[in-house]
Amino acid sequence: MSGNVSISQEENGKVSQVIRMGTRKSQLARIQTDSVAGRLKELYPDIHLEIVAMSTIGDKILDTALSKIGEKSLFTKELENALERNEVDIVVHSLKDLPTSLPPGFTIGAVLQRENPHDAVVLHPKNAGLTLDSLPEKSVIGTSSLRRAAQLKKRFPQLEFANIRGNLNTRLKKLDEKDDYAAIILAAAGLKRMGWESRISQILGPEDCMYAVGQGALAVEVRAQDKDILEMVSVLHHPDTVLRCISERAFLKQLEGGCSVPVAVHTEVKGSMLYLTGAVYSLDGADCLKDTMQTVVEIDNKVSESAQECVHVGVTANNVSSSALEAAEKLGMDLANALLNKGAKDILTTARKLNDAR
């Protein structure tokens, strides 16, 4: 399966590779794909990139809350089909939309440097100058994320929460042009990529709302057997981000959580230490289990010498220290096991049942 990259013959007789990049049609997906395309063009000036846009189930079912659709690979399936059929070679995703176990045959070949991973408050223009603390009582906050709602309900009990769906453009429109929401909560990273940073009125720190696993990082998905493409995209890996995200994904995987459970994280790399805080919540945030653990990650250690590929929670990073990758994955599993021992499974099972029933 390797080496199935198309070749184009240029006028000057030079032969160059054509790499096809699959993307969803939303503006955010296009911007994310274009930014990775730009990086690849800088690194490999001779390649030809072709962008193939498609719509996915997630884009088509715009009015159902994400957590209710129940399809973990909502935004990714059609794109993976195209990868499998060799119609495209590379797909760019928000890492947080990629399940912790990818279907066989696929791998994440690059995790790029993370943007601000925190959530942000975007206010209805009439509320300019206010914060979640100072908004009038019973103000309605729009979010369909169980994770955001659980944490914010507990922290700001005077506020009310309602679902809001659609891509970023749709949501901002629903906020600004109607009177349904006093504010909405979105990832700062998406807003920044769209050029809407000026709409951010407040960034939520970990005491208010911890972020989702992988939030703010872009991932490049490829065919696991396509060694040429894997090697080509591997230079895009940002080691700190890879280690943080592997620990976060291992945490979520061990908890058996998907995008439809209230699970949140916070990670930091300081020197050779990786810190992971992880939490699980009941839907109203009243029950919460949260803990922090750390491990040593020797980023500068030698990379794996074995020819055998090492995949950690779906990520292939042969150019990053294998002992550091292993330590990061173990950290996530250890933290999850610590919370499972304290009853995390019950909290998540109840949350899932209640969410399915409403």
C-alpha 113/C-alpha 311 separation (Å) is 19
The yes or no reply on residue 280 touching ligand DPM (CB under 6 A) is no
Residue 226 φ then ψ, to 5°: -85, 80
The yes or no reply on residue 267 touching ligand DPM (CB under 6 A) is no
Catalytic residue among 89, 97, 119, 334: 97
With CB under 6 A as the contact rule, the residue among 187, 232, 276, 344 that binds ligand DPM is 187
The yes or no reply on residue 318 touching ligand DPM (CB under 6 A) is no
DSSP label of 302? P
With CB under 6 A as the contact rule, the residue among 109, 216, 257, 278 that binds ligand DPM is 216
The yes or no reply on residue 123 touching ligand DPM (CB under 6 A) is no
| Residues near ligand DPM (CB under 6 A), total | 17
Per the listing, tokens 């996530």 go with 332
C-alpha 175/C-alpha 179 separation (Å) is 7
Q: Is 97 a catalytic residue?
A: yes
With CB under 6 A as the contact rule, the residue among 56, 73, 94, 267 that binds ligand DPM is 94
Task: For residue 169, give the nearest of 54, 59, 22, 23 by alpha carbon.
Answer: 59
The yes or no reply on residue 147 touching ligand DPM (CB under 6 A) is yes
With CB under 6 A as the contact rule, the residue among 144, 277, 295, 321 that binds ligand DPM is 144
Instruction: Provide the minimum distance between the beta carbon of 147 and ligand DPM in the complex, in angstroms, as a whole number.
Output: 4
Stretch that binds ligand DPM, among 7-15, 181-189, 235-243, 340-348 (CB under 6 A): 181-189
Instruction: Provide the minimum distance between the beta carbon of 313 and ligand DPM in the complex, in angstroms, as a whole number.
Output: 15
Task: For residue 212, give the nearest of 108, 291, 275, 119 by alpha carbon.
Answer: 119
Q: What is the largest CA-CA distance in the chain?
A: 70
Within 157-176, the residues that bind ligand DPM by CB under 6 A are none
Ranges of beta strands (E only) in 76-215 are: 90-94, 106-111, 119-123, 140-142, 160-162, 183-187, 200-204
Task: For residue 174, give the nearest of 141, 204, 201 by alpha carbon.
Answer: 141
Residue 154 φ then ψ, to 5°: -70, -40
Stretch that binds ligand DPM, among 151-159, 173-181, 183-191, 231-239 (CB under 6 A): 183-191
The yes or no reply on residue 33 touching ligand DPM (CB under 6 A) is no
Task: For residue 227, give the nearest of 41, 5, 51 by alpha carbon.
Answer: 5
| Whole-Å CA distances, 261 to 62, 144, 249, 287, 331 | 19, 12, 13, 14, 20
Stretch that binds ligand DPM, among 142-150, 173-181, 333-341, 349-357 (CB under 6 A): 142-150
DSSP SS3 for 111: strand
With CB under 6 A as the contact rule, the residue among 56, 73, 100, 145 that binds ligand DPM is 145
C-alpha 37/C-alpha 182 separation (Å) is 37
With CB under 6 A as the contact rule, the residue among 212, 236, 279, 339 that binds ligand DPM is 212
Stretch that binds ligand DPM, among 100-108, 186-194, 289-297, 350-358 (CB under 6 A): 186-194
The yes or no reply on residue 97 touching ligand DPM (CB under 6 A) is yes
The yes or no reply on residue 98 touching ligand DPM (CB under 6 A) is no
| Interacting residues toward ligand DPM by CB under 6 A | 66, 94, 96-97, 143-145, 147-148, 186-187, 189-190, 212, 215-216, 259
Question: Which residues are annotated as catalytic?
Answer: 97
